Amino acid sequence: MLIKVQQNWTGISLESLFRERWKAPKKLVHEWRMNKEVKLNGHAAPWSTSLQQGDLLSIPLMDMADDEAVQATNLEIPILYEDEWLLVANKPAGIDTHPSQPGDRRSLLNGVAYHLQQTGQTCMIKHIHRLDQDTTGAVLFAKNRLIGSILDRMLEERAIKRTYLALVEGSLHKKQGDINAKIGRDRHHATRRRVSPTGQAAITHYRLLHHDPNRNLSLVSCTLETGRTHQIRVHFSHLNHPLAGDTLYGGKKIFPRQALHARKIEFTHPILEEKMVITAPFLDKPEIFDERL
C-alpha cells in the first residue's frame, strides 16, 4: 500500500513515524524492518531517514481475509464511510456485531464481509467496538493489522468519541449530568448486568434534548468514558428511567427493542490526519426516533 507523506510528518524519521506517531505494534514493525518490506520512494531506506512531504511510503499491508473465519452474507448493511484503511457501517437491530457462535452467518461482521467481497476487496476486517444485538448505529471497522492496532489504542485512550441517542421513560430532573456507578454481572441472570460496588468503573455523561409529555419519554444524548456491557441501559435503569422498550432492565414494551442508537462517531483519521465526524441515520421501520433530530 502506498501512502503519501503528510506535511505534518515532514522532518521526522521513518522509525519515529511507526514507533511514536502511530505507536504501531512492536512485533509488526520488527517483522517489516527485518524483512526490509517498508520502502520509501520505491527503495528500502534506513529507518533513520527523515521524511519529506510528498514522499511515497510503501507498507506491505496485504492482510488477506480469512474465508473460513468470516462467511460473507448479504444483509444489505449500509456503509456510512469507507476508504482503503477503515470503514464505518450502520448496524441494524436484531443482529450481533460479530458471530456469537460457530456457524453464525447473520452478524454485522458477516454483512460487512459481503460488502468487501462484492466490491472486490480481499482485505481482513476487524470491528473496533461493538453494539448490543438490538442497538443500532455506527460501528467502526479496520481493514488491516496496522490500522486495527492504532484504532484499538485510540479507543483505549478515549480518542474515539461515540455519541448515543436514547429514549428513556419519565422526565429527568436535570438537563445534564454524569452517572458514575460501577457495573457488574447479575448473578441471578445470565446476560443481565447491574450496578454493583464490586463491579467495573463506569461513567456515562448525558444531556436532555427533549421531553415528550404525551408519551412521558425523554430523549437524551449520551457519551461514555467507559464501554461496559449494557452500560447506558444499566445506568438509566439505575436512575429509575429505563430505556423505552428495554424489558430486560424494567422498561415498558413500547417498542420492539430498546430505544438506543449509536448516532455519531468522531475521531482523527490516523493516516489522513483529518477530523472524521460520521453520523448514522435511523433504521427503524416503523420509526422509533425522529430523523429530524
Tens of pLDDT, residues 80-106: 999 999 999 999 999 999 998 888 899
Q: Does residue 293 sit within a domain?
A: no
- 240 shares a domain with 199: yes
- Give the count of domains, the chain: 3
Q: Are 254 and 171 found together in one domain?
A: yes
Which run of H or of E encompasses 203? strand 203-212
29 in a structural domain:
yes
Residue 66: C-alpha distances to residues 98, 117, 128, 133, 182 (Å): 14, 12, 17, 24, 38
Where in the sequence is the domain holding 11, given as residue range(s)? 2-58
- Which residue has cell 444524548? 221
Checking if the pLDDT of 250 tops 60, the result is yes
CATH number for the domain harbouring residue 45: 3.10.290.10
Q: Does residue 199 belong to any structural domain of this protein?
A: yes
Q: Is residue 100 in some structural domain?
A: yes
Does residue 140 share a domain with residue 100? Answer: yes
- Give tens-digit pLDDT for 209-245: 999 999 999 999 999 998 899 999 999 999 999 999 9
Domain assignment of residue 202, yes or no = yes
C-alpha to C-alpha distance for 100 and 71, rounded to whole angstroms: 13
Of 105, 130, 157, the residue at which a domain comes to its end is 157
Name the CA dihedral angle for 280, 286, 289, 293, rounded to a multiple of 10 degrees.
Answer: 70
65 belongs to a structural domain: no
Q: Are residues 118 and 170 in the same domain?
A: no
CATH of the domain at 85: 3.30.2350.10
Q: What angle do CA 76, 79, 85 make, to 5 degrees?
A: 130
**C-alpha–C-alpha distance, residues 144 and 222, integer Å:** 30
3-state secondary structure of 286: coil
Q: Are strands 136-142 and 260-268 parallel, antiparallel or unpaired?
A: parallel
C-alpha R_g of the chain: 22
Same domain, 150 and 185: no
Catalytic residues: 132
Helix (H, G, I), strand (E, B) or coil at 10: coil
Q: Which of 157, 184, 207 is the last residue of a domain?
A: 157
- Asked if residue 285 belongs to a domain, the reply is no
Considering the domain architecture, whether residues 102 and 31 belong to the same structural domain is answered as: no
* Rounded Cα distance, 63 and 112, in Å: 16
Same domain for 192 and 215?
yes
pTM of the model: 0.92
CA 191 centroid distance within chain: 22
DSSP state of 153: H
The answer to whether position 146 is within a domain reads: yes
pLDDT at 60: 83
Q: Residue 214 — left, alpha, or beta (φ > 0 → left; ψ -120 to 50 → alpha)?
A: alpha
Binned at pLDDT 50, 70 and 90, residue 35 comes out as confident
